[in-house]
């Protein structure tokens, strides 16, 4: 049941980035106008009603060059991105392995699925108090949070992908006497690639959230902590640059996965199927 | 005949659900053994977690916090539905508006909303309202995004036919747009349930500490590992239950989808 849910979300989400980029030229004017209205309303409302420290577009823009040349900010950004990259690397390897096994063996699937579904349904941030007990207030706790936040998205998607490998492929490889492991690495894995990418897109977003939440909770250096620290000391403009960057990463992952699917898997047309 | 029938039914039941129960029992056993063989500050066995859970329930602590969280969850969630669903339909009807606003909805949908919590904290303080805002922000974009997604896919012919029969704007909304969009909206609701739960706990962690979030935070600060495990177990079960509910709601409307 959840399989259907998970894959259909992934499918409906995919063409989003394409629309975001706005290929149709006729859509540029309303988009630009709406953006202008949003920015102006924000500026006016904040100027009229909010205290001076509250972020508004004009001051945020002024803060951008200051923030991105600030070594403290760059260090924070580097720390978060390194943690996310490390966590995602572990997640992809472990998540793909578990997912492939689940997809190709019904017994393993039935045994593991309860836990995958259960953990996936948990709001991931509840593990933070536990991880802080286990790993202390350290980078290890952040990595663990990132992995916990991201791994189930990959596992579930890869399992879906491995299950949907066309039977003929497996039959052909079997009639050429290929071994089980060989079949897994050379047939099932490449065939599940698009699912892996869809899972990666979800996982990357969650990993980023995991990193930020862990930094909030554990007070360890990084982009999340930079945002927390600056907004606590009423430097909202600087903090907001951090949020903009996070949003850019969120959108960036989306565009990247879309591009990769098109570039490396032109045979795969999931988004057309969905529409 | 009847006896052998029930027998085969039993064996198929066992074959299908056997591994599931074995794995659940194995998981509990592993938890119990791991808990007993490590220090109590690190992990507690399943049995002790249940005992702690029972204590919390008897003391009434647990129920108060649960109701507190439920109030927050429902207020934020219902507000998000009230705003997200009609706005999504409106965007579907007014094409210029949709083209204009859609990319910004996309961006907000992809933005990690947790990052906004410190701003909400320093601007709105520690009341109930800022926490509702957090749950709302976590929830509204999946609903809005999926509603717009569904509304985009309404066939223009449907609206044209309705129009050529001189349908009023109201009945167009009620008889064409709403039924067509509802399954998509429900996908949004399913996604939103999970997010609202995260938003709820995040708000309880980082804004004023109340509800289930407070239960687990308090336990962790007291180094009450059994309490931490008990709270995680409870929140996990609630999460699984709500996710199931979301799937059931989504499936119920799914056959409307063409």
pLDDT tens figures, B198-224 = 999 999 998 888 888 888 988 888 888
User: What does the alpha-carbon distance between residue B127 and residue B114 come to, in Å, rounded to a whole number?
Assistant: 18
In a domain, B21, yes or no: no
Q: B206-235: buried (b, 16+ CB within 10 Å) or exposed (e) per residue? A: bbbbbbbbbbbbbbbeeebbbbbbbbbbbb
Residue from the list B96, B112, B149 with its beta carbon closest to the beta carbon of A246: B112
Q: What average pLDDT does the structure give for chain B?
A: 86
On the question of pLDDT at A15 being above 70, the answer is no
- The answer to whether A178 and A186 are in contact (CB under 8 A) is yes
In a domain, B32, yes or no: no
User: What does the alpha-carbon distance between residue B133 and residue B110 come to, in Å, rounded to a whole number?
Assistant: 18
Q: Which pLDDT band, with edges at 50, 70 and 90, does B4 fall under?
A: low
Chain A residue numbers with beta carbons less than 8 Å from the beta carbon of B233 are none
In a domain, A208, yes or no: yes
In a domain, B144, yes or no: yes
Q: What is the mean pLDDT of residues A148-164?
A: 92
Q: What is the mean pLDDT of residues A195-202?
A: 88
Q: Which pLDDT band, with edges at 50, 70 and 90, does A207 fall under?
A: very high
On the question of pLDDT at A145 being above 50, the answer is yes
On the question of pLDDT at A215 being above 70, the answer is yes
Contact flag A129-B206 (C-beta cutoff 8 Å) = no
Contact flag B106-A50 (C-beta cutoff 8 Å) = no
In a domain, B72, yes or no: yes
Chain B residue numbers with beta carbons less than 8 Å from the beta carbon of A107 are 19
Q: Which pLDDT band, with edges at 50, 70 and 90, does A19 fall under?
A: low
Q: What is the mean pLDDT of residues B2-11?
A: 65
Contact flag A126-B231 (C-beta cutoff 8 Å) = yes
Angle between helical axes of A139-163 and A2-13 (0-180°, round to 10): 100
Of residues B131 and A114, the one with the higher pLDDT is B131
In a domain, A136, yes or no: yes
Contact flag B119-A2 (C-beta cutoff 8 Å) = no
pTM score of the predicted model:
0.83
In a domain, B36, yes or no: no
Structural domain for A201, as ranges: 2-15+62-274
Contact flag B19-A107 (C-beta cutoff 8 Å) = yes
Q: How many domains does chain B have?
A: 1
Q: What is the mean pLDDT of residues A185-204?
A: 87
CA closest to A119 among chain B residues: B236
In a domain, A181, yes or no: yes
In a domain, B228, yes or no: yes
Phi, psi of A244 (to 5 degrees): -60, -40
User: What does the alpha-carbon distance between residue A30 and residue B94 come to, in Å, rounded to a whole number?
Assistant: 12
Q: Specify the range with the lowest mean pLDDT, choosing from A181-185, A187-191, B10-14, B174-178.
A: B10-14
Start-to-end CA distance of chain B, whole Å, equals: 44
Residue from the list A123, A134, A205 with its beta carbon closest to the beta carbon of B198: A123
Q: Which ranges in chain A belong to alpha helices (H)?
A: 2-13, 16-21, 28-49, 57-68, 71-104, 106-121, 128-135, 139-163, 167-175, 180-183, 189-191, 193-218, 223-232, 236-264, 270-274
Q: What average pLDDT does the structure give for chain A?
A: 83
Q: Is the ipTM of this complex over 0.90?
A: no
Q: DSSP states of A251-275 as a string?
A: HHHHHHHHHHHHHH-TT--HHHHH-
Taking one residue from A and the other from B, the number of pairs with CB-CB distance under 8 angstroms is 172
* Radius of gyration in angstroms for the set of CA atoms belonging to chain B, rounded to a whole number: 24
In a domain, A199, yes or no: yes
In a domain, B78, yes or no: yes
Read off the CATH number of the domain in which A128 is found. Answer: 1.10.3720.10
Q: Which pLDDT band, with edges at 50, 70 and 90, does A9 fall under?
A: very low
CA closest to B219 among chain A residues: A129
On the question of pLDDT at B87 being above 60, the answer is yes
- The answer to whether A157 and A196 are in contact (CB under 8 A) is yes
User: What does the alpha-carbon distance between residue A239 and residue A55 come to, in Å, rounded to a whole number?
Assistant: 9
In a domain, A47, yes or no: no
In a domain, A51, yes or no: no
- The answer to whether B88 and B154 are in contact (CB under 8 A) is no
In a domain, B17, yes or no: no
In a domain, A248, yes or no: yes
Read off the CATH number of the domain in which B129 is found. Answer: 1.10.3720.10
Contact flag B110-A251 (C-beta cutoff 8 Å) = yes
C-alpha closest to that of A123 among B133, B199, B11, B255 = B199
C-alpha closest to that of B198 among A235, A115, A212 = A212
In a domain, A30, yes or no: no
| Tens digit of each residue's pLDDT (9 = 90 or more) over B118-167 | 999 888 888 899 999 999 999 999 999 888 888 878 888 888 888 888 88
Phi, psi of A247 (to 5 degrees): -60, -40
Q: How many domains does chain A have?
A: 1
Question: If DSSP states are collapsed to H, E and C, what string results for B200-247?
Answer: HHHHHHHCCCCHHHHHHHHHHHCCCHHHHHHHHHHHHHHHHHHHHHHH
C-alpha closest to that of B122 among B113, B134, B114, B130 = B130
pLDDT of residue B258: 55
Residues B77/B80/B85/B87 CA torsion (nearest 10 deg): 180
On the question of pLDDT at A12 being above 70, the answer is no
């Amino acid at each position: 049941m959840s399989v259907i849910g998970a894959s259909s979300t992934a499918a409906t989400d995919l063409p989003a980035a394409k629309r975001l980029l706005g290929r149709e030229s006729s859509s540029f004017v309303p988009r630009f106008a709406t953006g202008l209205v949003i920015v102006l309303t924000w500026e006016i409302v904040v100027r009229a009603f909010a205290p001076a420290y509250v972020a508004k577009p004009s001051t945020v823009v002024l803060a951008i060059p200051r923030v991105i040349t600030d070594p403290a900010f760059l260090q924070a950004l580097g720390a978060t991105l390194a943690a996310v990259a490390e966590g995602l690397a572990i997640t992809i390897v472990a998540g793909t392995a578990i997912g492939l096994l689940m997809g190709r063996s019904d017994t393993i699937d039935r045994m593991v699925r309860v836990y995958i579904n259960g953990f996936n349904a948990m709001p991931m941030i509840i593990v933070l108090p536990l991880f802080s007990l286990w790993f202390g207030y350290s980078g290890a706790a952040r990595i663990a949070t990132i992995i916990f936040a991201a791994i189930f998205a990959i596992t579930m998607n890869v399992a879906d992908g491995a299950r949907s490998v066309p039977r003929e492929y497996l039959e052909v490889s079997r009639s050429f006497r290929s071994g089980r492991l060989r079949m897994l690495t050379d047939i099932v894995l490449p065939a599940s690639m698009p699912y892996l990418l869809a899972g990666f897109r979800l996982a990357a977003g969650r990993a980023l959230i995991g990193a930020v939440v862990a930094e909030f909770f554990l007070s360890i250096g990084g982009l999340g902590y930079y945002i927390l620290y600056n907004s606590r000391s009423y430097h909202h403009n600087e903090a907001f640059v951090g949020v903009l960057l996070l949003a850019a990463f969120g959108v960036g992952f989306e565009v990247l996965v879309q591009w990769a699917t098109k570039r490396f898997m032109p045979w795969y047309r999931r988004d057309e199927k969905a529409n | 005949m009847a006896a052998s029938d029930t027998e085969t039914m039993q064996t198929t039941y066992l074959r299908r659900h056997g591994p599931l129960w074995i794995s659940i029992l194995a998981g509990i056993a592993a938890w119990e053994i791991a808990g007993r063989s490590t220090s109590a500050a690190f992990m507690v066995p399943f049995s002790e977690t249940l005992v702690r859970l029972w204590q919390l329930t008897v003391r009434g602590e647990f129920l108060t916090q649960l109701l507190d969280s439920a109030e927050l969850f429902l207020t934020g969630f219902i507000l998000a539905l009230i705003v997200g669903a009609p706005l999504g339909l409106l965007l579907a009807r007014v094409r210029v508006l949709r083209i204009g606003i859609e990319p910004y909805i996309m961006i907000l949908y992809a933005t990690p909303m947790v990052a906004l919590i410190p701003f909400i904290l320093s601007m709105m303080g520690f009341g109930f309202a800022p926490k509702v805002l957090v749950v709302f922000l976590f929830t509204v974009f999946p609903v809005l995004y999926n509603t717009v997604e569904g509304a985009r896919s309404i066939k223009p012919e449907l609206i044209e036919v309705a129009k050529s029969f001189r349908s009023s704007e109201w009945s167009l909304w009620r008889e064409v747009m709403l039924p067509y969009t509802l399954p998509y909206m429900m996908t949004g609701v399913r996604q939103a349930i999970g997010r609202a739960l995260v938003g709820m706990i995040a708000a309880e962690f980082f804004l004023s500490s109340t509800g289930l979030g407070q239960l687990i935070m308090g336990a962790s600060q007291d180094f009450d590992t059994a309490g931490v495990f008990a709270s995680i177990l409870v929140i996990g079960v609630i999460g699984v239950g709500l996710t199931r509910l979301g799937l059931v709601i989504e499936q119920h409307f799914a056959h409307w989808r063409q």
